[in-house]
Amino acid sequence: MEKNRKLIIAGNWKMNKTVAEAVDLVQGLKRELGTVKEVDIVVCPPFTALNDVSKQILDSNIWLGSQNMSEHNSGAFTGEIAAGMLKEFSVRYVILGHSERRQHQRETDDLISRKLRAAHGASLKAIVCVGETIGEREAGETETVVERQLRGSLSGVKAGEMAETIIAYEPVWAIGTGKNATAAQAQEVHAFIRKTVGELFNASVAKRVRIQYGGSVKPANARELMSRPDVDGALVGGASLEIRSFSDIIKNSI
């Protein structure tokens, strides 16, 4: 498949894996995926496993990501983790504004935009998540919601920083439900996201920005989703927790 953007497939482990389990998983991924060059492979373990996973993937083709970070650089923010602390473990990517954080931690687009600017300040590449609920989709509001989330969470970002930022389209109704968006549904929203990024920044940023699909991605649906022109990768939850399923998603996408 010819696309001029490199695929990026990231595993979001969420609140799963002890350190020992995380090391087992990443060792298995190295064995299975060691020769893959066509995809940027990213794993996002919980904070507690970053150190050990980081050591495992030195000199490998797997990059490290974090699931969240603070918008502040340091100070009296109990329980928070700053971008600079993540950099100590060679973290390269950070997921921002996942729908679970928007829902359970009440993260707003405004907060996400501050986190995004902090990430850029530390040269971390952000994966900014957007996506509608089932109620919003059924009410015909998908584009309105996604556009609002994009405008809000990308505000204050410069065009130069944006080309290195990744957008993840994750329809909330597809996350952890086993019910993925069809490739046609994903493509439709991805094309809309690219058009909106073009309006907010410029045509060359829109052409370069990578847009991942997330929500019940599995080995069986990865190829079909990745074959669409504006789908540049995947953000994988449940299926990233096992060596076989995450490796097969990547192999099936090439």
Mapping DSSP onto H, E and C, the string for the chain reads CCCCCCEEEEEECCCCCCHHHHHHHHHHHHHHHCCCCCEEEEEECCHHHHHHHHHHCCCCCEEEEECCCCCCCCCCCCCCCCHHHHHCCCCCEEEECCHHHHHHCCCCHHHHHHHHHHHHHCCCEEEEEECCCHHHHHCCCHHHHHHHHHHHHCCCCCHHHHCCCEEEECCHHHCCCCCCCCHHHHHHHHHHHHHHHHHHCCHHHHHHCEEEEECCCCHHHHHHHHCCCCCCEEEECHHHCCHHHHHHHHHHHC
CB of 158 to ligand PGA, least distance (A): 27
- Taking the complex as a whole, the smallest distance from the CB of residue 73 to ligand PGA amounts, in Å, to 27
Q: Is 190 a catalytic residue?
A: no
Q: Quote the least distance from Cβ 215 to ligand PGA, whole Å.
A: 5
If one asks whether residue 96 binds ligand PGA (CB under 6 A), the answer comes out as no
Q: Which of 50, 83, 124, 236 binds ligand PGA (CB under 6 A)?
A: 236
Q: Going residue by residue from 155 to 194, which x/- string records binding to ligand PGA, judged by CB under 6 A? A: ---------------x----xx------------------
Decide if residue 65 touches ligand PGA (CB under 6 A): no
Tell which positions 42-61 bind ligand PGA, by CB under 6 A. none
Minimum distance, C-beta of residue 63 to ligand PGA, in the bound complex (Å): 16
Q: Does 237 bind ligand PGA (CB under 6 A)?
A: yes
Tell me the window of 16-24, 131-139, 155-163, 212-220 that interacts with ligand PGA (CB under 6 A). Answer: 212-220
**Residue numbers at the binding site for ligand PGA (CB under 6 A):** 12, 170, 175-176, 214-217, 235-239
Q: Which residues are catalytic?
A: 98, 170
